[in-house]
A and B are shown apart, each in its own frame.
Chain A
């Protein structure tokens, strides 16, 4: 009979883990007795009374974990303790990781993974720049998912990246496709011939999904972060990425997605596109549409959907003009008219509750052009009856999961709107794909039903208009998500732009 003990100082293992550990050890060969206790004075006495108090255990304090085994022999005891150690280590790792022996720093990770070529960084913003710098120094390309990185840090990091011929995607880059691998929040889309450079995550997602719906796919998609095309950053990564897409054999057409940058940056981007020798589509939301002057290969569009449509047409060598709706125009207008007729006189407002920032922005622009002033967190100083809220903005997400993962904030928003007699249309986006919630439509459907019912009981029809950003191959399944929303009474349109237009039409806009 041999006793052996081990002590882990300040080990706060939860009780479930301790029970499982004790159970496991008891079934180990040659073990007769196991004690897994905190080293309190009372437990010392208990161990002593059971003949299990070892020298190590005596030294343990109340916040230290003591494991003592009583086994048939010395080697059995040692083996059991080794197993305990292993289980404790594994439990610790399991709580934080995939269970391999894990490095604690970027540098040691680099040593353990020869040929590493990308660092995906999502640590809190205060430390993100330092980690990105380490990665670049090691010669890694970087996808910087973290936000709250200062513009000064961004400029400095991208300078280092350029000097070394590296790509730094972000900050606040949530979506990318490299060599066919989706990174971050990304939909399952086929590999194909369109290369994208995007200053926006959900913008990239909308375009990618529509390309997939049109039978095309993505060669590469690079996220450059929302500030890349600003004067301070100078479009550094946008220009470098475009260069790379220019020489990428798999890329036959390039799409740039963002907001209108400073004029000199816009010129540089256009010059770059002209020099690529490949057809290009530029979607700068809120900018002008049309062909870029003197460059028939560069097409400017006003919405994300138009970017995808123009790209598809160019690849098919068809001409393309923008249309407000892609389906049966007459039927859509009829439906809009019927919906409008069902409103009470007080119902005039469109309220957008968005998970995707760029989608919220695009909706805001469209609603403004069709209905008038739109307020909300993207337009905080504007007064208007129409409102668009981006629930993914900092003020809603600091410390919490993003609305693409956690529907709670939007569910609250829907409930709040139900009783507002001025609301005619509730407009929303559902974003699918990797990283998104497993059933976003299912999460929202009860809230939508309930809201419509509340309105109905007060004598109103609350219209719900939605778009689903997703593909058939996404884990959530596009068709199933659309069906759930329609079942809950929503009118689902094929794109964010069409949804916003339909909502505006119901609220009285002249389409």
Chain B
């Protein structure tokens, strides 16, 4: 059924108190731009988005170990970002068992991963993941270190369209939503069900940065909900830049670096493959499988994201009679 927001009498001016009173040193002025670019990487703001600690002397790192990272799959926009700065160097932000985050000169992260579904819209699948111990936070990594010749570009935008599966295809939650976000998640669901755009934004703002996890549970939940919104009501998000501006500003200042980037991508309509797989599933069976796979991502990240997808789907079904 078509999903459309109703006109809202929500107080946009009331959003201000939720934002920090003094603009933090690294935020950009939130000004009116098209929704697509407000969440996109911003070269103008790049310098100010780099962390406060002085960068290590930038130098292309250990050529013998990190030269020719052969990229096999990545999102098209990620590719464009990586190509925009061939002579600049990024810096390794954090290193995990199966992912390495690199802070790129445009101020946003790139995630290096091994073979598998792209874990983030800003992830790059390498033919082989660097061996443990060869990469440490702080190391610099230049664009020249990547070999693109075999790279397949994937479009990670959520295509608009209907949901081709009923809600129960997504299965029951294996565990209850994290209690710390339950009230805020519920508020988002009610707002979505009521089709009140302003209330949706208010509820979303309350979720940003909320809860456990390196990507807080609230952010994961919101990403899931945004996935459904981009599927069913992309115009709502793109027609009114106040929506994405407000959420993008909050993403930039009120949550972790990693969650910020997931949110900014989600606001622009781009998602990890595991998320796209659920929302664009074409049958009950594929929806169920994709949901199971998403639920297993991370410790609770995937489950929280799936929770956001579920609540948005429920809200859509519920509100349709209104």
The answer to whether A and B touch directly, with their CB atoms under 8 angstroms apart, is: yes
Most interface-central of B62, B93, B101, B257 (chain A CB within 10 A): B62
Q: Is A401 engaged at the interface, CB distance under 8 Å to the other chain?
A: yes
Q: Is A398 engaged at the interface, CB distance under 8 Å to the other chain?
A: yes
Q: Hey, what's the 0/1 contact readout for A18-53 against B, CB within 8 Å counting as 1? A: 110010000000000000111011110010000000
**Of all chain A residues, which has the CB nearest B19?**
A41
Please count how many residues in chain A sit with their CB below 8 Å of the partner chain's CB atoms: 34
A36 to B218 CA separation, bound complex (whole angstroms): 15
Q: Is B127 engaged at the interface, CB distance under 8 Å to the other chain?
A: yes
Is the pair B133, A399 in contact by a Cβ cutoff of 8 Å? no
Is the pair A126, B67 in contact by a Cβ cutoff of 8 Å? no
Is the pair A18, B213 in contact by a Cβ cutoff of 8 Å? yes
Q: Is B322 engaged at the interface, CB distance under 8 Å to the other chain?
A: no
Q: Is A483 engaged at the interface, CB distance under 8 Å to the other chain?
A: no
Q: Is B65 engaged at the interface, CB distance under 8 Å to the other chain?
A: yes
Is the pair B216, A38 in contact by a Cβ cutoff of 8 Å? yes
Q: Is A408 engaged at the interface, CB distance under 8 Å to the other chain?
A: yes
Q: Is A14 engaged at the interface, CB distance under 8 Å to the other chain?
A: yes
Given contacts A42-B209, A62-B255, A62-B256, contact A18 B214 (CB under 8 A): yes
The distance from the CB of A26 to the nearest CB of chain B, in whole angstroms, is 13
CB-contacts of B89-106 with A (<8 A) = 93-97, 101
Binds A, one of B27-35, B77-85, B282-290, B295-303: B295-303
Is the pair A40, B209 in contact by a Cβ cutoff of 8 Å? yes
**Of all chain B residues, which has the CB nearest A128?**
B64
Is the pair B61, A14 in contact by a Cβ cutoff of 8 Å? no
Is the pair B254, A42 in contact by a Cβ cutoff of 8 Å? yes
Residues of B within 8 Å of A16, CB to CB, are: 298-299
Q: Is A148 engaged at the interface, CB distance under 8 Å to the other chain?
A: yes
A414 to B213 CA separation, bound complex (whole angstroms): 43
The distance from the CB of A96 to the nearest CB of chain B, in whole angstroms, is 6
**Of all chain B residues, which has the CB nearest A395?**
B68
Residues of A within 8 Å of B127, CB to CB, are: 400, 408
Contact residues of B: prevailing secondary structure: loop
Q: Is B208 engaged at the interface, CB distance under 8 Å to the other chain?
A: yes
CB-contacts of A461-498 with B (<8 A) = none
Contact of A126 (CB < 8 Å), options: B63, B95, B180 = B63
Is the pair B298, A15 in contact by a Cβ cutoff of 8 Å? yes
Residues of B within 8 Å of A46, CB to CB, are: 180, 210-211
Q: Hey, what's the 0/1 contact readout for B297-322 against A, CB within 8 Å counting as 1? A: 01111000000000000000000000
Is the pair A14, B206 in contact by a Cβ cutoff of 8 Å? no
Is the pair A63, B211 in contact by a Cβ cutoff of 8 Å? no
Q: Is A13 engaged at the interface, CB distance under 8 Å to the other chain?
A: yes
Residues of A within 8 Å of B215, CB to CB, are: 15
The distance from the CB of A67 to the nearest CB of chain B, in whole angstroms, is 11
Contact of B68 (CB < 8 Å), options: A37, A63, A126, A398 = A398
A36 to B298 CA separation, bound complex (whole angstroms): 17
Is the pair B69, A399 in contact by a Cβ cutoff of 8 Å? yes
Is the pair A401, B128 in contact by a Cβ cutoff of 8 Å? yes
Residues of B within 8 Å of A398, CB to CB, are: 64-65, 67-68
Can you list 17 A-B pairs, Cβ within 8 angstroms, ordered by A? A14-B214, A14-B298, A15-B215, A15-B300, A18-B212, A18-B299, A38-B209, A38-B214, A38-B216, A40-B254, A42-B210, A124-B65, A126-B62, A127-B62, A148-B64, A399-B65, A401-B131
9 smallest CB-CB distances across A and B, nearest first, come from A124-B62, A40-B209, A125-B64, A148-B64, A12-B94, A42-B210, A15-B299, A400-B128, A42-B209
